[in-house]
Amino acid sequence: GESVGLHLPTLSVQEGDNSIINCAYSNSASDYFIWYKQESGKGPQFIIDIRSNMDKRQGQRVTVLLNKTVKHLSLQIAATQPGDSAVYFCAENQAGTALIFGKGTTLSVSS
């Protein structure tokens, strides 16, 4: 079946730096993408989403970029804080199907 993958399982950054978490997807028919954040011992929490008719979407301190040509999705976190330390998952969806999650990237932020 189709799958969503992340380029790196771990990412370490310094507090105040910008973080970029990448995700590659294989299903060109996917039309909706979501980023989730999962803190230790908790369930995933929605961060931001983007539809396939968009290239970029911004939230508070976060930006998601979608490159459909190379089937690549990225999450940018500005001015990373210790509270951003978590596992980040991308997920893809085709209309009428359930979300498919990637394996996750662990972001560690040091002070």
Partner 1 sequence: NAGVTQTPKFRVLKTGQSMTLLCAQDMNHEYMYWYRQDPGMGLRLIHYSVGEGTTAKGEVPDGYNVSRLKKQNFLLGLESAAPSQTSVYFCASSYSLADYEQYFGPGTRLTVT
Q: Binding residues for partner 1, per CB under 8 A?
A: 1, 9, 31-32, 34, 41-46, 49, 51, 89, 93-104
Q: What's the closest the beta carbon of residue 96 comes to partner 1, in angstroms?
A: 6
82 three-class SS: helix
Q: Choose between 9 and 82: whose C-beta lies nearer to partner 1.
A: 9
CB of 81 to partner 1, least distance (A): 22
Q: Where are the beta strands (DSSP E) in 1-111?
A: 4-6, 10-14, 19-25, 32-38, 45-51, 56-58, 62-67, 72-77, 86-93, 100-101, 105-110
Residue whose CB is less far from partner 1, 70 or 95: 95
Paired tokens of 77: 């976190």
Q: How far is CA 72 from CA 18, 21, 33, 44, 84, in A?
A: 19, 11, 11, 21, 22
Closer of 15 and 68 to partner 1 (Cβ): 68
Minimum CB–partner distance for residue 16 and partner 1 (Å): 29
Q: Which is nearer to partner 1, 86 or 104 (CB)?
A: 104
Shortest Å distance, C-beta 75 to partner 1: 15
